[in-house]
């Protein structure tokens, strides 16, 4: 597992619709050990490995979205204060007072701070209310500096990779660049001579604004089996709701079960985890999961679908937190799954 690649990937801005730099980094890494690497018109990045000795193999698609939530510049006033809209699902409270990076059209990075009227100047009623995006702005220090920035430029919170313990770390945008990392590292770990199928790893785009990249890439690859890799909510912090899943960091990847998941895929993942002494957790999903698995399952005439997730604290905040043990075990689980002859799983239920 290439930890330096992971760190660089997590520190590369990639809001939905602006994934180009992260996608290029992913593809450059993929070219070191996969058989074929390419991008599609939508911006999805695709890597492929296969055992050339196998005739007419089935296709497995492993998908992790490479986009993160972010901001887009929508107006710059005459004094140089920058107003923005959110890309993806933000809690506005998180943004107040944050430092941000603004990525301009020519690739330069501007820095600024998210400003708000100080609490001393808020009315009593306003103090009781949550912050609203329309009441926030980015301050880059001067209108001259703001002239470097244009409407349509994207921004992310200026928060890098933060090691905490031997295995735990925090970073911005773990959701879901960790999934894009896992699917590629799975290809690195697979023993090609054991493959009876073609395996595609896909760094999908625009998941945070409607699972869009998974729709187009699944249509293009036309897999028989598709497994999405995303994060899921950990419940091992104060006040967490354990009733929807008592998920803990460091206790293994999470294997989903429910209507969005093909039973044979779930059962095979569980069996492989147990046969290989890989710790795992189970999360029940009562409907569409809100991940790439949701649309992969519905692609063309249908795809046998699974979902493997990394437990994540503080999702959609600048300090998302995961445990590398879960990442390593997810990679191992998926590699062993892909090496298994899946012909029997392709029969109709």
Does residue 117 register a pLDDT over 80? no
- In the chain, which residues fall in CATH 2.40.30.40? 70-157
- The set of residues, in sequence order, having a beta carbon less than 8 Å from that of 69 and lying 6+ positions away, is 15, 16, 86, 87, 88, 89, 90, 173, 175, 208, 316
70-157 fold: Elongation Factor Tu (Ef-tu); domain 3 (2.40.30)
Average pLDDT estimate for 172-177:
93
> In whole angstroms, what is the distance from residue 13 CA to residue 21 CA?
7
pLDDT, tens digit, for every residue of 52-110? 877 767 899 999 999 999 999 999 999 999 999 999 999 888 998 999 999 998 877 88
Structure confidence at residue 130 as a pLDDT band (50, 70, 90): confident
Q: Considering only 17-26, 93-102, 120-129, 174-183, which range has the smallest mean pLDDT? A: 120-129
> In this predicted structure, what is the pLDDT of residue 93?
87
> In this predicted structure, what is the pLDDT of residue 340?
86
pLDDT, tens digit, for every residue of 25-50? 999 999 999 999 999 999 999 999 99
Does residue 192 register a pLDDT over 70? yes
Q: Considering only 104-113, 210-219, 248-257, 275-284, which range has the smallest mean pLDDT? A: 104-113
- In the chain, which residues fall in CATH 3.40.630.10? 3-68+172-346
> In this predicted structure, what is the pLDDT of residue 289?
93
Enter the tokens of residue 148: 């470097």
pLDDT, tens digit, for every residue of 49-64? 998 877 767 899 999 9
Structure confidence at residue 349 as a pLDDT band (50, 70, 90): very low
> In this predicted structure, what is the pLDDT of residue 139?
95
> In this predicted structure, what is the pLDDT of residue 345?
65
> In whole angstroms, what is the distance from residue 63 CA to residue 3 CA?
20
Whether the CB-CB separation of 32 and 187 falls below 8 Å is answered with no
Does residue 308 register a pLDDT over 70? yes
3-68+172-346 fold: Aminopeptidase (3.40.630)
Mean pLDDT of the chain: 92
Where do the H-state alpha helices sit in 107-225? 124-128, 143-146, 174-189, 212-221
Write out the E strands in the chain: 36-39, 45-49, 58-65, 70-76, 82-87, 99-103, 109-115, 137-139, 154-157, 162-163, 168-171, 197-204, 225-233, 254-257, 281-284, 304-312, 320-323
> In whole angstroms, what is the distance from residue 62 CA to residue 30 CA?
14
Average pLDDT estimate for 292-301:
96
Whether the CB-CB separation of 328 and 249 falls below 8 Å is answered with no
Give the H or E element holding residue 94: helix 92-95
29, 68, 207, 320: the catalytic one is 207
- Residue 349 known to be catalytic: no
Q: What is the share, in percent, of the chain residues with pLDDT greater than 90?
A: 79
């Amino acid at each position: 597992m290439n930890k330096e690649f992971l760190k660089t990937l997590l520190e590369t801005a990639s809001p939905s619709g602006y994934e180009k730099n992260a996608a290029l980094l992913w593809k450059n890494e993929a070219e070191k050990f996969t058989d074929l690497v390419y991008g599609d018109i939508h911006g999805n990045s695709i890597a492929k490995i296969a055992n050339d000795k196998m005739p007419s193999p089935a296709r497995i698609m492993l998908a992790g979205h490479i986009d993160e939530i972010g901001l887009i510049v929508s107006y710059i006033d005459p004094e140089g204060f920058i107003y923005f809209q959110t890309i993806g699902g933000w809690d506005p409270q998180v943004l107040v007072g944050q430092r941000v990076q603004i990525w301009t059209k020519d690739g330069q990075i501007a820095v600024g701070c998210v400003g708000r009227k100080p609490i001393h100047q808020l009315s009593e009623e306003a103090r009781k209310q949550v912050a609203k995006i329309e009441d926030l702005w980015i301050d880059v220090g001067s209108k001259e500096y703001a002239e470097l920035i244009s409407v349509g430029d994207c921004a992310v919170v200026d928060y890098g990779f933060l090691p905490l313990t031997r295995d735990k770390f925090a970073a911005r945008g773990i959701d879901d660049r960790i999934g894009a990392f896992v699917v590629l590292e799975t290809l690195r770990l697979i023993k090609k001579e054991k493959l009876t199928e073609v395996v595609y790893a896909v760094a999908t785009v625009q998941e945070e604004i409607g699972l869009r990249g998974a729709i187009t890439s699944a249509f293009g690859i036309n897999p028989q089996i598709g497994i999405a890799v995303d994060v899921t909510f950990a419940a091992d912090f104060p006040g967490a709701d354990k009733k929807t899943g008592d998920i803990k960091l460091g206790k293994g990847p999470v294997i989903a079960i429910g209507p969005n998941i093909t039973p044979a895929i779930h059962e095979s993942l569980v069996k492989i985890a147990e046969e290989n002494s890989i710790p795992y957790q189970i999360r029940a999903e009562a409907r569409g999961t809100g991940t790439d698995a949701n649309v992969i399952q519905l692609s063309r005439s249908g795809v046998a679908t699974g979902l493997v997730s990394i437990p994540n604290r503080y999702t959609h905040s600048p300090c998302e937190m995961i445990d590398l043990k879960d990442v390593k075990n997810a990679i191992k689980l998926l590699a062993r799954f892909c090496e298994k002859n899946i012909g029997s799983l392709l029969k109709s239920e």
